[in-house]
Amino acid sequence: MNICVVGSGYVGLVTGVCLADFGMHVVGVDKDRAKVEALSRGKVPIYEPGLETLVQKNMEEGRLRFTTELGPAIEEAQAVFIAVGTPPKSDGSADLTFIREVAASIAQHLNGYKIIVTKSTVPIGTGQMIEAIVREGAGSRHKFAVVSNPEFLREGSAIEDFMHPDRVVIGTRDPRAAELMMDVYSPLAAADVPFITTDVETAELIKYASNGFLATKISFINEVAEICEACGANVEVVSKGMGLDNRIGPKFLSAGPGFGGSCFPKDTRAAAQIARDQGLKFRIIEAVLEVNEATQKRMIAKIEDALGETTGKTLAVLGLSFKPNTDDLRESPALPIVQGLLDRGATVRAFDPEAMEGCKPLFPTLTYCENAYEAAEGADALVIITEWNQFRKLELDRLYELLRQPLVIDLRNLYDPDKMAAAGFRYVSIGRPEGVPETRPTAVIEPVRAARGRS
C-alpha cells in the first residue's frame, strides 16, 4: 500500500518509518525544506533512540522517502496520515491551522478513494471539519473516508511504543476505511495488540481522556509529595504502596517537578477547553493544571530554601529536556525553574546530554558544560531536574570535591537520602525526609498474598 505521512516531526517520522518497516511504501512530507533535505540524506534532525538507523534501513530498502511536494504524494497514496503539529492557542484550545491546510491540499489532489487518517491530537469535531473541507474542495468527484487514529507513543521510546502499543484506536464510520486500517496495522494485529474500532468522535476523545488521566496521576502524586514533606512521610513508599494495588498500578506515580513536554500540558489545556465548548467544566483537569503550575513554582521555592539566598549563587543544573532520551524542550519543567533561578539572581551552569543546543537560544546566558562534573565545579548546589540514566550513578566523592558546598537538590529522587547523608551531602529531594547517615528502618514490602482481600 502507498502511504503519505504529512508532517515529519516526532509522530510523523516515527509513524512513517514504522509503516515502511511493516512493508508499506511511505512518502514523508514536510513543509520544512531543511528538515526534508536532512532526512533525504538519512539524517534525523531530532534525538530519538533507534530512529536514524531505522530511517536509513528503510530508505536503503526503497520503502521510504521524503519530499516537500505534498500534491504528488497525496495523488500516489491510498492512505494519507496527518501528523502535523496542533499547538496551543492562547485560550488553551488546539490550533488547527496546519490541519486545515493539509485538508485543503488533500481536497485539491483527491484523485480516487483515499482514507484520511488523523494521527495528530485533535479536539472532538476535527474529523467532521476535515470531512467538510475535503468535501467542499473536492466536490463529489471521488469518495474518501476520514479516520481518527490517535497516537500514544512516548518520546524517548517512540519506536518501541509504535511497534508494541498497548492498543490501536481506529475511529471511522466507513467499513471500507476500517478494513484498510486493519490492513495497515496487520503486523500489530498478528502480534495480538488489542484494537478498538469506534466512531471518530469517541476515538478523538480517547486520546484527551488518556493524557488527562495520566497527567492527573502525576499531579496527584506531586500533591501527595507536598503532604509528605509537611508531615515527614516518604512519597516513594506511599507511591509503592499505592502502585502495588492492581486497580491503581505503579506507573506515573513518581513525584517530581511537574509534567511537561509537547503533549500533557497542551492536551490537558485543550481538554479543559473542549469541556468549556460544551458548556461544561472539566473540574479535575482544571485542578491538575493548577497543581502542575504550583508544583513548578514550589521547586523554585525549594531550591531557594535549601540555598538560603539565591542572589549571587551558582547552581549546577543537570537535565534540561522534559524527560530523558529526548532533546525535546517543549514545556520542559526545567525552563521555568531555570528562569526562576536567573530571575532571583543566580548563575546557572547547565549540562544535558542532548538538549543543550536547543536551549542556547532560550537561555544564552547559561554556561553550557561538557558533563555533570564540569557543571558542578565551584557551584553552590547541584540541582537534578531530568532523570537521564547517567545522572543516577554520579561519582559522589568527585562531586563532593568539585562543589563549593555539598548541597544536592534532586527533583527526581534518584538517590537514597541516607546514602547521600553518609557521603557528606545535604540532600534535598521530593516528598522524602532528608537523610541521616545511620540507616533508618524503611518500609518492607511483603509479597502480596493472593488469598488476602484488598480494601
Ligand X SMILES: NC(=O)c1ccc[n+]([C@@H]2O[C@H](COP(=O)([O-])OP(=O)(O)OC[C@H]3O[C@@H](n4cnc5c(N)ncnc54)[C@H](O)[C@@H]3O)[C@@H](O)[C@H]2O)c1
Q: Which three cell numbers stand for residue 177?
A: 476505511
Helices (H), 199-324: 200-231, 235-243, 264-277, 283-307
Where would I find the beta strands (DSSP E) of 119-210?
Answer: 144-148, 168-171, 195-198
Smallest distance from the beta carbon of 12 to ligand X, in angstroms? 6
Q: Determine which residue in the list 3, 4, 5, 10 makes contact with ligand X, applying CB under 6 A.
A: 10
Q: Determine which residue in the list 5, 12, 126, 258 makes contact with ligand X, applying CB under 6 A.
A: 12
Smallest distance from the beta carbon of 10 to ligand X, in angstroms? 4
What is the footprint of ligand X within residues 262-281 (CB under 6 A)?
262-263
The residues facing 347 across adjacent strands are 314
Where would I find the beta strands (DSSP E) of 105-205?
Answer: 114-118, 144-148, 168-171, 195-198
Q: Are 9 and 85 in contact (CB under 8 A)?
A: yes
Stretch that binds ligand X, among 96-104, 137-145, 228-236, 370-378 (CB under 6 A): 96-104
Q: Pick the catalytic residue: 4, 228, 263, 359?
A: 263
Residue with Cβ nearer ligand X (31 or 404): 31
Instruction: Please report whether residue 228 would count as binding ligand X according to CB under 6 A.
Output: no
Residue with Cβ nearer ligand X (94 or 235): 94
Query: With b meaning 16 or more CB within 10 Å and e meaning fewer, what string describes 20-44?
Result: bbbebbbbbbbeeeebbeebeebeb
- Residues with Cβ within 8 Å of residue 278, at least 6 apart in sequence: none
Q: Considering only CA atoms, which of 358, 414, 67, 330 is closest in space to residue 399?
A: 414
Gap between the Cα atoms of 375 and 371, Å rounded: 6
Residue with Cβ nearer ligand X (73 or 407): 73
263 catalytic residue (yes or no): yes
Residue with Cβ nearer ligand X (80 or 381): 80
Residue with Cβ nearer ligand X (86 or 386): 86
Stretch that binds ligand X, among 94-102, 228-236, 307-315, 368-376 (CB under 6 A): 94-102
DSSP assignment of 31-47, as one string? S-HHHHHHHHTT--SS-
Smallest distance from the beta carbon of 309 to ligand X, in angstroms? 39
Q: Determine which residue in the list 96, 106, 109, 121 makes contact with ligand X, applying CB under 6 A.
A: 121
**Active-site positions?**
263
Interface residues with ligand X (CB under 6 A) are 6-12, 29-32, 35, 70, 83-86, 98, 101-102, 120-121, 151, 153, 155, 262-263
